[in-house]
């Protein structure tokens, strides 16, 4: 929803998909309601698409079968359908759970090896690795966003460091779509938080300048 509001004015056509009906669809939006497990529907919606922003995923409480169906098999079907349709760019919602087992005292950057802190994080690393293969074998450029805590506002002490605001996620995705050649880039997805404990030189490469700071909502 935040991306729709932020991208709508600057992009010619947005093809949207979700498992639930979408509200207030505008003239340059096309809404398709389907499940990520429907491979034929995924293939059909890739027609005439230049770039894909993949956000679908199971979070919170899950069992292995559900996690695999959406975060592994569903992920593959999206990426492979994009390849078959000639999609040029993929922006993937990865997660900071991809490196969550580093000590909190270490300033983690995407250049360090992944250290996932959960099975959820393992599948996010798998998605990043798949995109490396799609870039090396098929030339599809991509940006994987290791998103921290996406919320309208920070909700707890942890998110004072890990918050990603709606405005900053729009900027991050927009830059990921417009960059002339990101290769196969992995980027940490945070706002400009005072308590941020990571370091990411790819922000400069991408041109990302986050504006929001969770510290302003500390109280």
Report residue 7 as tokens: 């991208």
Contact 89, 139 (CB under 8 A): no
Report residue 138 as tokens: 């098929």
Report residue 24 as tokens: 């207030």
Report residue 163 as tokens: 């918050």
Q: How many CB atoms lie within 10 A of CB 35?
A: 14
Q: Write down the H helix ranges in 86-206.
A: 119-138, 159-162, 166-178, 202-206
Per DSSP, the chain holds a count of helices (H) and strands (E) of 8, 8
**What's the rounded Cα separation, in Å, for the pair 147 and 124?**
11
- 3-class secondary structure, 37: coil
CA dihedral of residues 175, 179, 202, 198 (deg, nearest 10): 20
Q: Which residues are catalytic?
A: 120
- 3-class secondary structure, 208: coil
């Amino acid at each position: 929803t935040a991306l729709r509001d932020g991208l709508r004015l600057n992009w010619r056509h947005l093809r949207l998909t979700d498992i639930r009906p979408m509200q207030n669809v505008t003239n340059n939006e096309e809404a398709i309601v389907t499940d990520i497990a429907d491979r034929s529907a995924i293939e059909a919606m890739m027609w005439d698409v230049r770039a894909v922003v993949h956000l679908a995923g199971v979070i919170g409480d899950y069992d292995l079968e559900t996690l695999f169906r959406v975060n592994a098999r569903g992920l593959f079907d999206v990426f492979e359908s994009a390849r078959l349709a000639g999609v040029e760019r993929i922006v993937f919602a990865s997660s900071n759970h991809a490196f969550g087992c580093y000590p909190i005292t270490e300033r983690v950057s995407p250049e360090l090896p992944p250290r996932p802190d959960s099975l959820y994080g393992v599948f996010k690393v798998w998605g990043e690795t798949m995109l490396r293969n799609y870039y090396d074998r098929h030339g599809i450029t991509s940006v994987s966003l290791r998103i921290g805590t996406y919320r309208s506002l920070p909700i707890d002490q942890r998110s004072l460091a890990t918050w990603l605001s709606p405005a900053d996620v729009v900027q991050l995705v927009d830059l990921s779509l417009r960059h002339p050649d990101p290769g196969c880039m992995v980027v940490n997805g945070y706002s400009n938080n005072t308590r941020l404990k990571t370091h990411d030189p790819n922000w400069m490469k991408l041109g990302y300048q986050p504006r929001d700071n969770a510290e302003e909502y500390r109280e």
